[in-house]
Chains A and B, each alone.
Chain A
Amino acid sequence: AIRMTQSPSSLSASTGDRVTITCRASQGISSYLAWYQQKPGKAPKLLIYAASTLQSGVPSRFSGSGSGTDFTLTISCLQSEDFATYYCQQYYSYLPITFGQGTRLEIK
């Protein structure tokens, strides 16, 4: 199975900050990577797929980049509603589909 490792596991930031979350795959996955946002008690929400394609309706302050094994999710200007847990997911190998362990973004 392809292992996805996110860093950091948790992050404290303030409204208006620019933050970057990293996701590393244990082997090359081309651009077959998605990012999700999850708030407590809620289902995950798709933010980005194909490493850098913004899902419809997602604010442009979210962006993704990378290919191969190293990927980043950047939030350019944090808003209060962005404090949540973020997960990456690879779909290069669907046996099995795997997620990163999550990055919890907290208010400083």
Chain B
Amino acid sequence: EVQLVESGGGLVQPGGSLRLSCAASGFTFSSYSMNWVRQAPGKGLEWVSYISSSSSTIYYADSVKGRFTISRDNAKNSLYLQMNSLRAEDTAVYYCARDLYSGSYFPDYWGQGTLVTVSS
């Protein structure tokens, strides 16, 4: 069974940093591209970042470019999102999501999400 479990969310002050993790199991993690997608409270879905299976290709939404860094450790079956210079508008549930197949750019499995709240 495919499982994606996010962790690392919490309350952080504006300008602060947070690192999200996503532990993957039930599939060959190194064979799939991965994404982070977020959802502000009561709002729609916003794609945040993409990383290819080998980490050779990485993309970011303009809203987080230069502040967030996506990475993965295939040996540890883990995906990460380092978030710096956090703003109130970054407050959201952050989902780790696996592409249906590597390079498909649409996810089939999603984690349960981790809530990031940016507030003083």
Q: Could you list which residues of chain A lie within 8 angstroms of chain B, going by C-beta atoms?
A: 34, 36, 38, 42-46, 49, 55, 87, 89, 91, 94-102
The interface residues of chain B lying within 8 Å CB-to-CB of A91 are 104-106
Within 8 A of A (CB), among B28-84: 35, 44-47, 50, 59, 61-62
Q: Give the CA-CA distance A98 to B100 in the complex, in Å.
A: 17
SS class, residues of chain A in contact with chain B: loop
Q: Could you list which residues of chain B lie within 8 angstroms of chain A, going by C-beta atoms?
A: 35, 44-47, 50, 59, 61-62, 95, 97, 100, 104-108, 110-113
For the complex with contacts A43-B113, A89-B106, A101-B44, 19 further pairs of A-B residues with Cβ separation under 8 Å are: A36-B45, A38-B45, A43-B112, A44-B95, A44-B110, A45-B110, A46-B108, A49-B100, A49-B104, A55-B108, A87-B45, A91-B105, A94-B105, A96-B47, A96-B59, A97-B47, A98-B47, A99-B44, A99-B46
The interface residues of chain A lying within 8 Å CB-to-CB of B61 are 96
